[in-house]
Amino acid sequence: MNNLLNSINETLLMGPGPSSVSPQVYSSIGKSTIGHLDPKFIEIMDAIKIQLQTLMGTNNELTIPISGTGSAGMETCFVNLIEKNENVLILNNGVFGARMIDVCERLGANVDSINQKWGEPIILDMIQKKIDDKKYDLIAIVHAETSTGVLNPMDEIAKLINTTDALFVVDAVTSLAGLPIHMDAWGIDALYSGTQKCLSCPPGLSPVSFSERAIHKLMNRKNKVPNWYLDLSMIANYWSGKKRAYHHTAPINMVYALYQALYDIIQEGVDNVFEKHQNMHEYLLIKLNELNLELLVEKQYRLPMLNAIKIPEGVSDIDVRSCLLKDYNIEIGGGLGDLAGQVWRVGLMGYTAKKENVDRLFSALSSIL
C-alpha cells in the first residue's frame, strides 16, 4: 500500500500560515512522548508559561497554550468571558474580526460591531462614538489582520478602550513573536495566538493569557462556562494549579514543539526577532518595486509579517499560485472573502523570514509573470 507521506517534500511556506518550521522544532516534535502528569512534562509546562509571558509582555499567571488551533483560542477567550445577553463590541476589519462576531453571537451576546473597509485600520473616532453610546461588557479587536495585512494601531486603541470598564480581548494570532506586544501596558484582559505564524511551529496549539480582571469575571460567572473542553477555570488547575488536576490529556508532542520554538526565539533575542521581521518586510518592498507590484495597505498600517500584494490586471491568481507550488515548491496565500482574486498574501513569519526565501520567491515570480 502506497504511503502518502513519502511524497511530502519540503515546501517553502510563504502564505498566511503555517510558516516554515526549523530543523530543531521538527526534531523536538518527534521526541519521546511522556505522560501528561510526568514531573518532566510539568517542568516544560511551567517553562512555557514564562516564555509566553516574555513574548506577550505580561505577568499573568494564567498564560498557557490551549489544546487546539488559533480559532480555539478565540473561542476560549469569548466562551469564558461572555455570558448570555451581555454587550459586546467587535472592531472588525477582516475575516478574523468577522469570525469574532460569529463566535460571540453563538454565545448569545448582544453584538455590536464597527465594520471598517478591508485593508484599512480601525479608526479611533469610530470607537469613540460607540463607547459614548453604550456601555460594553467586552470589546475585542484583531491586532494583526491576517486576511488583509493591516496592523491596527494598538497604542491609541488600547488607551481609548481603557477609558471604559469593558474587558479588552485581543487576537494576536499573527502578531505574537513578530511585533512587540505589551499585554499589561495595553490593559488587555485576554489575548490569544496561534503556533503556526511567527512562532514557526506546526499548527495545533493556541497560546492564551488571562488578566486578573478576566479571571475575576470567569470565577464569578452566573452560569458555568458552556464549553467543558475550553473551560479555563478547570484547565488552569492542570496548567498552573498546585494539584495539577487532570483535565484532558495535553498534546504532549505539540507542547514540545512550542517549547522549542519559544526557546529559539528567546535565544535569538526578542528584539532581534522583531527587527528581522521588519527588515525582511523592507527587503520585500524593494523586490516588489522591481516587479512593479504594490501592497494593498497604506504604509503606516502595514504588517511586516503578512503582505497583501495587489494582483496585476490580467494575471490569474490561481495559475500563479499553482505554478509556484507545483514548479517551485513555494506556497503563498490567496485573498479571502472580498479580496479573493484581488490579492496574494505573502507571509514572512519566523523561520520563513529570511532574505534567501524572499529572493527565491521573487526569482520564481519574475519567471512566471
Residues 166-205 touching a copy of itself, rule: CB under 8 A, are 194, 196, 202-204
- Which of 8, 155, 165, 292 is close enough to bind a copy of itself by CB under 8 A? 8
- Which of 1, 85, 132, 318 is close enough to bind a copy of itself by CB under 8 A? 1
CB of 44 to a copy of itself, least distance (A): 5
- Which of 57, 58, 63, 68 is close enough to bind a copy of itself by CB under 8 A? 68
Element at 39 (helix H, strand E): helix 39-56
Distances (CA, A) of 110 to 10, 76, 138: 46, 18, 10
CB of 288 to a copy of itself, least distance (A): 22
Residue 87 Cα to chain centre, angstroms = 25
Q: Please state the length of the chain.
A: 369
Q: Select the span of 66-74, 113-121, 126-134, 353-361 touching a copy of itself (CB under 8 A).
A: 66-74
- Which of 49, 99, 276, 277 is close enough to bind a copy of itself by CB under 8 A? 99
Nearest to 306 by CA among 124, 155, 179, 116: 179
User: Please, which residues bridge with residue 330 across strands?
Assistant: 12
- Which of 61, 160, 226, 244 is close enough to bind a copy of itself by CB under 8 A? 226
Query: Which of the 8 DSSP states describes residue 299?
Result: G
Number of chain positions touching a copy of itself (CB under 8 A): 78
> For residues 251-280, which are near a copy of itself according to CB under 8 A?
251-254, 256-257, 259-260, 263, 266-267
> For residues 307-326, which are near a copy of itself according to CB under 8 A?
325
Burial 42-60 (b: 16+ CB within 10 A, else e): eebbeebbebbbebbbbeb
User: Please, which residues bridge with residue 208 across strands?
Assistant: 64, 192
Per-position x/- string for 131-170, each x denoting binding to a copy of itself as judged by CB under 8 A, each - no binding:
----------------------------------------
Amino acid identity, position 70: G
Report the greatest alpha carbon distance in the chain: 65
